[in-house]
A and B are shown apart, each in its own frame.
Chain A
Amino acid sequence: MSVNWFRFSSPVSFYPLAGAWSYWFAILAALLAGAGLVVGLVIAPTDATQGDAYRIIFIHVPAAWMAMFIYLVMAGWSALALGFNTRLSAMMAQALAPTGALMAAIALWTGAFWGRPTWGTYWAWDARMTSTLILLFLYLGVIALRSAIEDPRRADRACAVLALVGAVNVPIIYFSVQWWNTLHQGSSISMTAAPKMAMTMFADILIMTAAAWCYTISVVLARVQAIIVERERGASWLESLIDLRPKGTH
Chain B
Amino acid sequence: MKARHRRFAWIGAGLVVLGVAVALVLNAFQSNLVFFFTPSQVAAHEAPTSRPFRIGGLVEQGSLKREPNSLTVHFLVTDTAKTVPVTYTGLLPDLFKEGKGVVAQGTLGQDGAFHATEVLAKHDENYMPPAAKDAIDQAHRNKPEAMPSMHEAAQ
Contact = CB atoms under 8 A, between A and B. Distances in A.
Interface stretch (B67-75, B115-123, B139-147): B115-123
A186 interface: yes
A182 B18 contact: no
B129 A84 contact: no
A198 interface: yes
A197 B127 contact: yes
B35 A118 contact: no
Nearest to B133: A48
Interface string A104-139: 000000000000011111001111000000000000
A119 B56 CA distance: 13
A198 B125 contact: no
Nearest to B93: A120
A197 B121 contact: no
Contacts of B7: 82-83, 85
Given A50-B95, A180-B34, A183-B122, A188 B127 contact: yes
29 contacts: A47-B127, A48-B132, A48-B134, A49-B95, A50-B123, A50-B127, A118-B123, A119-B95, A120-B94, A120-B95, A120-B96, A120-B118, A121-B120, A125-B35, A126-B35, A164-B11, A172-B22, A180-B33, A180-B34, A181-B37, A183-B103, A183-B122, A185-B123, A186-B125, A188-B126, A194-B154, A196-B154, A198-B128, A198-B132
Given A48-B128, A48-B132, A83 B11 contact: yes
Nearest to A57: B127
B15 A164 contact: yes
Contact of B129 (A48, A120, A124, A179): A48
B9 to A, nearest CB: 9
Interface of A: 45-50, 54, 57, 79, 82-85, 117-121, 124-127, 164-165, 167-168, 172, 179-183, 185-188, 193-194, 196-198, 201
What is the interface residue range for chain B against chain A? 35 or more
Interface in B19-63: 19, 22, 26, 30, 33-38, 56
A84 B123 contact: no
A120 B127 contact: no
A196 B127 contact: yes
B130 interface: yes
B124 interface: yes
Contacts of A168: 15, 18-19, 22
